[in-house]
Structure 1
């Protein structure tokens, strides 16, 4: 089975880029692995020991890749690890997706049938060390306008399997470790990502103290916007 290994967060400026780095390091134990600059943007790669979390800062909003997900801070794309790129490219196209980037690129970007941006990468592309002791990235939630079409894409292309919690407006799938939650909505988008923590309420207090903003707080989960300007969720481990 293919596996979700990467989430890319687009930042608005250098201040938010740097603030987000210390925010995720200090509160969630997500640590840096490498810094790069390529294709018109800086990338600061971080990890919880399983998922690569990349903070991205484009040289300009006019950069071609910057425009793919829209202007301003947003979750730019997710990355899925595969062991056979040629066959995966065919599956993507056969199931309503399209290839965006040069097919020789190590991180091959595609537009999925649900309209969101993703990339496929070879096994072992992202650096990992120890698992974070403070958090685990457990879920990515996508807004899609055709729930069944989107679910079929991830099932047929990546062999993701059903996960608990599905109903008429939500379809949950899993790669065995991370949940991909598809939510019916008018505008396709990678809406938010989820962190499991021991005590969501206590961590929410740290979030507000370190420059984040709580936007929803209920018994099920806490949603917040980090210094990078992107929406995330806290749930209990």
Structure 2
């Protein structure tokens, strides 16, 4: 009997007019993995996230935990157990940190509001000291932590993070890297991560899918990816050691 994958994309395609932002793409994510997605700007990475989470209609099929989720609205996909963050922080600036995470908790896939779990996720994301602060007062790292805490408060099976290191300094990147490792290891949550910094991605993720123009170039281990000539040509180039 074939093992059920946590997430399975089967020949998915998304066109915007004549442009195929995602083109006949297939891949599988297993439970417990940190699954990486890489590619140059405009490769279709964020569009792919929007397909998985129900923002756009598309050709092909996506299965989550053995169920076909193609065509489902975003809120139903979230309540099944897929949560995401955004490259540019999307937060409720009129709310406090606590209120924002509570909102995620109320929306969660369990259907039961658990304020204790909400508090736990605030602490987990190192936001306890900012709990009563308005979210607009957070710095960039704080806003990224907040998005993660609110997403985790829904008790997802998969957390999808979109370029979490963008705009952070070296110290903040290290903190965010450690947080993502803890999400995967301590919370036993499957993580899908889009990340531009290849050194960070190869430290966190295995396997890694590399796409260009919405099409798969290759999927493999960090070692296989960073030694692949096509990947080096299209994406790494002179930034491989950056």
TM-score range, shorter chain: 0.3 to 0.5
Structure number with higher strand proportion: 1
Between 1 and 2, higher relative CO (CA 8 Å, sep ≥ 6) is seen in 2
What is the TM-score of this pair, normalised by structure 2? 0.32
Structure (1 or 2) with the greater helix fraction: 2
TM-score if structure 1 supplies the norm length? 0.32
